[in-house]
Amino acid sequence: MTSLPAWTCLVLAGVLLGGFSDVTSTEDRGTLAGTVLDAGNERAVPGAEVSLAVAGHRRITDVDGRFSFGDIDVNGPDTLVFRHLSYDSLRLPIEAAIAGSVDLDFLLSPRPIELDGIDVTANRRVREEARYLADVSSGYFWDETDFQSYVGVAMHIADPLRYSGKVTNIVEGPDGYRCIVIRARAGCAQMMINNVRVNTEVLKNYAPEMIQSYVIIDPINATTLYGTGAAAGVVVVYLKGR
C-alpha cells in the first residue's frame, strides 16, 4: 500500500468508517469513489448528492449508497460536499490532487424532522430537494402546483403522470401494479420514493394526495446516475413532509 497523497485533511475523526481501501499510484491520475452511510446505524444512504464544489462535478448515490467520479481527475484545492434532505450536510476539503484510485466510506449524521401533520417548511425542503435532483440529472421537475388538478381523478400515485407529457405510457396490472414507460420500448422505469428504490407494488400504499413532487429522469441520464439498472429511466416520487 503506497503512502497517502497530500489531501490528508480529508481524513477527519468520525467521518471515515472503514478507512482507506487499497490506494494505487500506477498512474498520475486520481479517482474517487465511496459509500455514504448513516452515522447512526451504518446503513446505506441512497439519493445523497455528492459534489466537487470547485470542479462542479455531481453524483447521486445509488440504492447501495455508492457513488463514483469515474475517470475524472480529482484535484485540489477543492471541497467534497455531501447533501441529503434527511441528514446534516458534510464538507471535506481536498488540498491537493488524488493519486491512484481511492474508495472511502463517509458517515452522515441524521437530521430528523419532527412535525405534526403537514408542515409548509418541510414541504419546501422536499420541493427544494426534488428541484435539485432534477437540476443535476437534467430531469423533469413536476410539483404539486402543476399536477394538483389531476389528483382528484387519480386512483393511484402514478396516475397524475399521464398528464405530465414526459411519460409515454402507463401499463396497469393487478394489485396496484403500474409499469411507467418513459421511452417507448425502453421497459418499465425504476421507481423511487424519497430517493429510496421501491417495487412498483409498494406505490399502492400511498394516496395521490400525499405527493409533493415528481422528478422524471430519462434513460440516458438515469443510467449515468444510477447505473444500468435504471436503463429504462427513473421516476422519483417525493412525499409531503409530515
**Cα separation of 45 and 70, whole Å?**
20
Residue 124 is predicted with a pLDDT of: 84
Residue 242 is predicted with a pLDDT of: 53
**Cα separation of 129 and 185, whole Å?**
30
Domains of the chain: 8-108 (2.60.40.1120), 120-239 (2.170.130.10)
Locate 121 and state its grid cell: 417548511
**Cα separation of 211 and 225, whole Å?**
23
Q: Is 97 within 8 Å of 141 (Cβ atoms)?
A: no
What average pLDDT values come out for the chain (242 residues) when binned by 10 residues? 35 34 44 90 86 85 86 83 84 82 90 51 84 91 91 87 92 80 90 83 82 94 86 92 62
Q: Is 211 within 8 Å of 239 (Cβ atoms)?
A: yes
| Four-residue CA torsion sign, 141, 207, 228, 132 | positive
Residue 237 is predicted with a pLDDT of: 93
112 strand-pairing partners? none
Residue 70 is predicted with a pLDDT of: 82
Residue 105 is predicted with a pLDDT of: 93
Collapse the DSSP code of 200 into the 3-class scheme (helix H, G, I; strand E, B; otherwise coil) and give the result: helix
Q: What is the pTM of this model?
A: 0.55
Collapse the DSSP code of 42 into the 3-class scheme (helix H, G, I; strand E, B; otherwise coil) and give the result: coil
Residue 34 is predicted with a pLDDT of: 93
Locate 22 and state its grid cell: 487499497
**Cα separation of 70 and 149, whole Å?**
42
